[in-house]
Amino acid sequence: MTKPRILIIDEVHPSLFPMLEEIGVAYDYRPDIKPIEVCEALVGFQGLIVRSKMRITADTIKLAGQLRFVARAGAGLDNIDAEALQERGIALLGANEGNQQAVGEHALGMLLSLMRNIARGDRQVRNQVWLREENRGEEISGKTVGIIGYGHMGQSFARVLRGFGCRILAYDRYAPEKITAPAEAASLENLQQEADIVSLHIPYIPENWAFADASFFSAFKKPIWFMNTSRGEVVDQTALVQHLQAGNLKGAALDVLENEKLQSLTEDQRRNFNYLKSAELVVLTPHIAGWTHESYVRINEVLVQKIQALQASGRLSA
């Protein structure tokens, strides 16, 4: 019997290949393929696996008459035109479950680094500066943590916070029914009134562009610790910088930026970045919240399970 075939156009952990073989799926691994070549290369394939190489659009799949699914080996689906796939009846598979633990742990690490001055203290001690009182920090215990977006990532962050004796409020405008213990459901307005710490875990879709803007930050009743490990585009970085400078934010932990190609920043982006990189109460990491050795493998496991489910449903065959 002919096996369904998958084109893989990004580098993936090699554990993927024996997993695919075990469920009877053939693959063509072409991590060096150029984006312009993908459209024609997809002819005859039933599946496509992509990470971040390119945006998958209606034009990308226009020749792929046998395509049954597109899978993203990572969290978030913002580089895939979901509507174009839906119009063709092509399944869209994500792997957010694969790196949710990594994101929760990283968010906690960034928060501790920020509130306890760990990154700043490390820099000072390396420069033979020993300041104890100036680096007195705050505890998570007793604080109210507001989580905006309560999907896999928001839930993971809530789970790792359970042992800290903090109150957790969650707001999710798309799936409020997901909010269960250890979080309490809250409106955005209520969260803004009560939160001491705010962490974004929302996808980048058009409706979420610059979600955290000047009015968002102005609505908080008290200065907050602000965190973003989702997508840089959901934060108005100019508004963020202005509120940091005004003291409306106690500090910020950012794993993502609105433009992560640091050699191609606009004048405004450069001005904002220069402030963020020099600010004492800002912690920055290079989009690695979900990027661990374990999550690299787990993402493959999640995708293969979903591909196997497509086979079982009869939606995937050669």
Task: Give the residues across from 260 on adjacent strands.
Answer: none
Give CA–CA dist 248/223, Å, rounded: 5
Give CA–CA dist 291/91, Å, rounded: 25
Q: Reduce the DSSP state of residue 93 to 3 states and report it.
A: strand
| Residue from 5, 116, 287, 315 carrying the catalytic annotation | 287
Give me the amino acid identity at 73. A
| Residue from 152, 231, 243, 298 carrying the catalytic annotation | 231
- The H or E element containing residue 310 is helix 293-313
Q: Is there a catalytic annotation at residue 260?
A: yes
Give CA–CA dist 16/238, Å, rounded: 41
Backbone dihedral region of 165: left (phi > 0), alpha (psi from -120 to 50 degrees) or beta? left
HEC states along 185-215? ECCHHHHHHHCCEEEECCCCCHHHCCCECHH
Q: Is there a catalytic annotation at residue 167?
A: no
Q: Tokens standing for 109? A: 């690490």
Give CA–CA dist 25/17, Å, rounded: 9
Q: Reduce the DSSP state of residue 64 to 3 states and report it.
A: coil
Closest CA to 69 of 36, 46, 40: 46
DSSP class of 178: G
Closest CA to 172 of 135, 143, 201, 212: 201
Q: Is the dihedral of CA 289, 294, 297, 299 positive or negative?
A: negative
Q: Tokens standing for 252? A: 């910020």
| Residue from 189, 260, 280, 294 carrying the catalytic annotation | 260
Q: Is there a catalytic annotation at residue 201?
A: no
Any idea which residues carry the catalytic annotation? 231, 260, 287
